[in-house]
A and B are shown apart, each in its own frame.
Chain A
Amino acid sequence: MSRTKLVLGIALLLGLSASAALVGLERRAAASRAAQVSLANVSTELTQLVLVPLAATAMPGTPAQKRPVLESTLRAQEQAIRSTLDRLKRASPPAQLGEVGKPLDAAMAAANAGLPVWLANKQGPTTIKVLNRQGATLSAALQSLGDANHAYGSRASASQIEALSGSAAVVALLLGAFGFFYRRSEASRRRMNDQGVTLRSALGELEAVQADRALLLQRTVEIAEHERIRVAADLHDGPIQRLTAVTLGFDLLSNKLKRGEHEQALTLVEEIRESLAEETVSLRRLMTELRPPILDARHLGAALQDCALQVLDGSAVRCEVDVTRASIHLSPELETVVYRVVREALVNVRKHAPNAHASVTLEPLGDLLRLAIVDDGPGFDENTPLGHTNGARYGLIGMRERVESVGGTWSLATAPGAGTRIEITLPRRLRVVAASRESAGLAA
């Protein structure tokens, strides 16, 4: 159940409870009022007993004629009074109601006793005594009725208090529950609001990261596509041309052999062999550019040493390669990036700073790796526009894109006469990738 439904349920219970309490209260009050009204009627009827003698004197006819009417009137009054009292006694009567019976009996007896006197219409002392006795019993009966009436009122008040107390207790309980859940609900709402803010913030960050990842992926795909285009072009311009030339060479060789031109055939065989040897070197270079085999045969440090020896072989550039502090396993992608950046940078050194002293340093930098390729050559103006550097700047741009494509940073510091320093940092998401590679190797 949701909190909203819970709160609504509590509110509904509160309403129902209050309504039930009010209905009960009203019902009890109505019952008490009805009892009081009945008692008032009884009082009226008792009082009317006093009127019987007066009615007797006022009635026409002889006493014999009047007597049955008056007796019938008395019986009817008595029956009405007793019926009302019985009904009141059955419906939760107060103790005082029981006291009404005796004065009523006395009053009825007095009325019956006085009846002959009234019928004789005598106003003497006997009549006065009878009337006095009748008045006293009537007064006692009325007193009892008054007490009962008061008791009914008290009882109604007590019922009211009881009903109100019960209702108040239920309402208080429900209000407490409501407050408890409301507070919880309010706290939950605040907490959810806070969580919402946090979530929105996290979502924003996530979207930003996703955007970066998408951009990174796009650039990676672009670089990979450029790489494939370059490799395809290299294959077209290199191996395919040479090997098809070799096929033509064999055709030519065949012709010469058929014509018995053995000397020319031998010369052609040598040319074909030389061409194939050159093509082997070309293919090996292409393979090395795609993925230097030494990276797999040894490790990155050895590969970078080997790279410096190859690129700078025959030049006057002196170069130290220091990767001793970073003897760790990188992912193949990062290894290749490092290798290519170093190769590109050293090719530039050989080309633009042929007498320089250079160094290649790969070292840990916190959670990152830092690679620096430094030379003390002539340097150049960083702000030289593209197109005025014989393509050298394009190599730097490619280098930078390659580094940034794996989440690294690239920086260049150079000036005319001040040498050149290329520094990159790379993420060290190494262990996981290295572990997965090892796992893959084991699985294979």
Chain B
Amino acid sequence: MTAGPKAEKARRVLVVDDDDTFRRMLVAVLADEGFEVLGPATDGLEGVALAHALRPDAIVLDIRMPGLDGLAAGRKIRDADPAVRLVFLSAYNDKTLQREAEALGAHDFLVKGCRLSELVDALVR
């Protein structure tokens, strides 16, 4: 992993995660990587609303969230904006959830705890 901006393809990233600690750290890391971090949103519904309002290049979505979960939110976002890059970042590593994410056109499905370089690659690749 190399330091510095790498977000040539997806500079504007919306973060959607309900956990304060993780979300704060994720925002800090992505910003440090040179991304323009939008939001962040703390649940699925807010994520859908901000996605529609801000039109990010990419969205990092948690899956298990109160109200509208990440997959349902991602489906709504995808329906409204087929070009947006969806990257799921979840504590779950279930194959079923991965297939559902792929089915709705997600760009990647990462498990929390992965290396930062994997996340950055998913956003810019």
- For window 237-255 of A, CB contacts with B under 8 Å fall at 237, 240-249, 251-252, 254-255
Q: Is B79 an interface residue (CB 8 A)?
A: no
A residues 273-295 near B (Cβ < 8 Å) are 275
CA distance A256 to B3 in the complex (A): 8
Residues 102-117 (chain B) with a chain A CB within 8 angstroms = 112-113, 115-116
Task: Select B19's contact among A241, A252, A254, beta carbons within 8 Å.
Answer: A241
Question: A247 with B113: in contact, given A241-B91, A275-B21 (CB under 8 Å)?
Answer: yes
- Residue B1, interface by CB 8 Å: yes
Task: Compute how far the CA of A275 lies from the CA of B28 in the bound complex, rounded to whole angstroms.
Answer: 15
Say yes or no: is A191 at the interface (Cβ < 8 Å to chain B).
no
- Kindly report which residue of chain B lies nearest to residue A255, judged by CB atoms: B3
Interface residue B29 (Cβ < 8 Å from any Cβ of A)? yes
In residues 215-265 of chain A, which contact B (Cβ within 8 Å)? 236-237, 240-249, 251-252, 254-256, 258-259
Q: Is B29 a contact of A248 with CB atoms below 8 Å?
A: yes
Are B3 and A259 touching (Cβ within 8 A)? yes
- Residues of chain A within 8 A (CB-CB) of B29 are 248-249, 251-252, 255
Interface residues on B, range: 10 to 19
Q: Is the interface of A mostly helix, strand, loop or mixed?
A: helix
Whether the Cβ atoms of B26 and A248 lie closer than 8 Å is: yes
Given contacts A240-B91, A241-B91, A255-B3, A249 and B25 within 8 Å (CB-CB): yes
The answer to the question of B32 belonging to the interface, with a C-beta cut-off of 8 Å to chain A, is: yes
Expressed in whole angstroms, the Cα–Cα distance for A248 and B33 within the complex equals 12
Q: Which residues of A contact B112 (CB under 8 A)?
A: 240-241, 244, 247
Q: Determine whether the beta carbon of B21 is less than 8 Å from that of A241.
A: yes
> What B residues does A244 contact at CB under 8 A?
22, 91, 112-113
Inter-chain contact B32/A255, CB cutoff 8 Å: yes
Q: A244-B22, A245-B25 are in contact. Are A252 and B91 (CB under 8 A)?
A: no
For B21, B92, B112, the residue with the greatest tally of chain A CB atoms inside 10 Å of its CB is B21
Contact among B19, B26, B32 with A237 in the assembled complex (CB-CB below 8 Å): B19
Hey, which chain B residues are within 8 Å of A251, CB to CB?
Answer: 1, 29, 115-116
- The answer to whether A243 touches B19, judged by C-beta atoms less than 8 angstroms apart, is no
Complex interface residues of chain A between 10 and 37 (CB less than 8 A to chain B)? none
Instruction: For B113, list chain A residues within 8 Å (CB).
Output: 240, 243-244, 247
Partner of B21, one of A236, A245, A255, A259: A245
State how many angstroms separate the Cβ of A22 from the closest Cβ of chain B: 91
Interface residue ranges of A305-331 to B (CB < 8 Å)? none
Which chain A residues lie closer than 8 Å to B26 at the CB level? 245, 248
Which residues of B have CB within 8 Å of A252?
25, 28-29, 32, 116
A241/B3 in contact, CB under 8 A: no
Binding site for A on B (CB under 8 A): 1, 3, 19, 21-22, 24-26, 28-29, 32-33, 64, 91-92, 112-113, 115-116
Complex A-B: 12 CB contacts under 8 Å: A237-B19, A240-B91, A240-B112, A241-B21, A242-B22, A245-B24, A248-B26, A251-B29, A254-B1, A255-B3, A255-B116, A258-B3
A241-B22, A244-B22, A245-B22 known; 6 new pairs, CB 8 Å cut-off, are A236-B92, A246-B25, A252-B25, A252-B32, A255-B29, A275-B21
